Structure 1
Amino acid sequence: MTTLTQKSRPAGRSIPARRRGSVLSRQRRAGWWMIAPALLHSLVFITLPTLAAIGLAFTDYSFGGTPHFIGGGNFAELFGDVRFQAALKNTILYVIVVVPVSMAIALLVAIALNQKIRGLGAFRTAYYIPVVTATVAVGTVWLWIFNPGSGLANGVLSLLGLSPVGWLTDPGLALPSLMVVGIWQGLGSKMIIYLAALQGVSPQLVEAANLDGAGRWQVFRNVTWPAIAPAQFFVLITSIVGTFQVFDLVYVTTKGGPGLATNVLVFDVYNNAFQSLRLGYASAETVIMMILIGAFILIGRRLQGANARD
């Protein structure tokens, strides 16, 4: 009897193990089927175009022509191109200003909207509306606001007794004016993410910190800030990528002018590819932009890690 019992126990345990393995296998297959459309989309619309752009960057390909390998000729020409130099400088300045300023303002707005105030839903909706509004419409509205003759911005200046300003016609003010629009337009999406993260902060930890005598800043620095670190990193990465890709706002408002004051990388890629039809040259510019995005993401990750250690 003892021998039979001992022999039956392993057999009894092996059946659930096989069933668990079968269930896990079916779950894995189901998971792959679920993400298959996203993987296919990424392959067709992201991976393959990226590889094609990298390949074309080393050719002299023009629309309708035959590509010929020229090595690093496009890259050498780019760094001697005044338009590219202006686009590179303007894009980096735009990213350096818009990303941190918009993140800081969005966090402050999210903290304010995380309080129990009257009309909270209306405020959240109002802040999010620019995100879902077409950039063409946004650019048209801001063209009126920045209009040197009858715009709202100069109307406010006149009420203050100040002279009108050429917001989009002055080379020194055009790019900062677009930065203001970029910060305003991207505020809602960042605010929503921060708000969701703030609502996930443990109330018990906040209460414990308050009982220990911590002030508001100490609670935020030692409890809230570490808790929202993943959301902070997500906002940082998406902000860097989105800001580098600014195009439609420039296209609608300034067309890269006055002069080259608001010429940015994506707009310059558009001009080289679809106006001059130099697809190989535009692809080289795209490769440089991808490298820059990767470098900025790496720097942001390092900074995020340093803040987490502090």
Structure 2
Amino acid sequence: MATISATAADPPAAPERGGRPGRRRGTRSGAVRARHRAGWLMVAPALLHALLWIGVPVVAALILSLTSYDVLTPPRFIGLDNYVEALGDPVFRRAMANTAVYAFFTVPVAMAVALVIAVMLNTRLRGRAVFRTAIFLPQVTATIAVALVWLWIYEPRNGLANAVLSFFGLSGVNWLSSTTFAMPAVIVVGIWQGIGLKMLIYLAALQGLPRELFEAASVDGASRFRQFFSITVPLLRPATFFVFVTSVIGAFQSFDQIYILTDGGPANTTTMMTYEIYKSAFREFRMGYACAQSLILFVVLALLTLANRRLTRSADAGS
């Protein structure tokens, strides 16, 4: 009886599948490990490239930012003196303020205009391929060439901008030599050149939206205006986040148009952080100081990206 009760108390043995469950489990884990190894092998070239051309320069810049280095003599360790000097330099602080103003106006305006254009070009518009190419063309044109064209437009005597003003009976303006109009003139160039890429990204995102939602909204009587703000804009949040981050980074890295149009003037009204880094490194040969300025710019961009990401997550959670 004891034997019978003990046998009855034992749980029934699990049925075997294929006869060798342990071997199948081991084969499956081996296949997973093989896929992981294959994945690491495929991303290894990109990781190696990032390590050599991004990681090593960042570490070198961090080390040099703690030194006084003029290329000709060996680096001399000075601690955080470069950071203290940069944050206390009125010209660099003016450059930080100018960069913030430039990004504040160019990024949202260019994003709004690009979104409207993308929505218009997403319809069955005749000749839309030509319009897409024309709008995107400034993005692939060399910034130096773009700046030279705008340098002619802003020319005080024979420029196109003053010719338009004179047509309406207004007096001309020294656009790039005026402390009042120099920054707005540079902002206009930044907006004009940045619309193309933003439009292309928004256009790609629009073509991936489900048409069923818009058809259902039309059946319910929603206007195109209501569909745009209630359906299109919320569904484009991932694309908007990507466009915003890349646009802010691009705005904070603006250099070519400043170098050609204004050279940071007049009276430092258009100087940017990247332009001050360039001057410190290649005009004054203060490489350690320039590295400190570069890392300050890096920290600013990282904080802006994290702040926008947090706001985006909060908006997604609220919705």
TM-score higher than 0.5 = yes
Report SS of the residue matched to 1:255: coil
Tell which deviates more after alignment, 179-188 or 216-225. Answer: 216-225
Report SS of the residue matched to 2:67: coil
CA 96–307 in structure 1, closer or farther in 2 if over 3 Å, else same: same
Aligned to 1:250: 258
Q: CA deviation at 1:10?
A: 4.4
Aligned to 1:154: 162
Counterpart-to-counterpart distance in 1, 2:58 and 2:23: 48
Counterpart-to-counterpart distance in 2, 1:121 and 1:22: 50
Aligned to 1:136: 144
Q: CA deviation at 1:24?
A: 3.3
Report SS of the residue matched to 1:9: coil
Q: Does 1:228 align with 2:242?
A: no
Q: CA deviation at 1:88?
A: 1.0
Unaligned runs of 5+ in 1: 1-5
- What is the correspondence of 1:11-30 to structure 2 with a 5 Å cutoff? 11=19, 17-30=25-38
Aligned to 2:39: 31
Per-residue Cα deviation, 1:131-153 (whole angstroms, up to 9, x for no partner): 11011111111111111111111
Q: Does 1:198 align with 2:206?
A: yes
Report SS of the residue matched to 2:259: helix
Output the amino acid matched with 1:153: A
Q: CA deviation at 1:305?
A: 3.2
Output the amino acid matched with 1:274: F
Aligned to 1:269: 277
Q: Does 1:176 align with 2:148?
A: no
Output the amino acid matched with 1:67: P
Q: CA deviation at 1:7?
A: 7.5
Output the amino acid matched with 1:284: A
Aligned to 1:53: 61
TM-score (normalizing by structure 1) = 0.92
Counterpart-to-counterpart distance in 2, 1:229 and 1:281: 39
Aligned-residue Cα RMSD (Å) equals 1.9
Report SS of the residue matched to 2:155: coil
Q: How many positions carry a matched residue from both structures?
A: 306
Output the amino acid matched with 2:200: I
Rg comparison, structure with higher value: 2
Output the amino acid matched with 1:219: Q
Unaligned runs of 5+ in 2: 1-13
Counterpart-to-counterpart distance in 2, 1:131 and 1:11: 63
TM-score (normalizing by structure 2) = 0.90
Output the amino acid matched with 2:214: V
Alignment partner of 2:267 out of 254, 259, 283: 259
Q: CA deviation at 1:171?
A: 1.4
